[in-house]
Amino acid sequence: MKTENEQLIQLAHTKMPFGKYKNRYLIDLPEFYLIWYKNQGFPKGTLGQQMQLIYEIKLNGLDDLIRNIKQQYKV
Residue 9: helix, strand or coil by DSSP? helix
Burial 3-23 (b: 16+ CB within 10 A, else e): eeeeebbebbbbebeeeeeee
Per-residue confidence band for 1, with pLDDT thresholds at 50, 70 and 90: low
* Predicted local confidence at residue 25, as pLDDT: 97
To the nearest 10°, the Cα dihedral for 21, 22, 26, 30? 0
| More confidently predicted of 2 and 50 | 50
* Predicted local confidence at residue 24, as pLDDT: 98
Query: pLDDT tens digits, residue range 3-40?
Result: 888 999 999 999 999 999 999 999 999 999 999 999 99
The reported pTM is: 0.91
* Predicted local confidence at residue 2, as pLDDT: 79
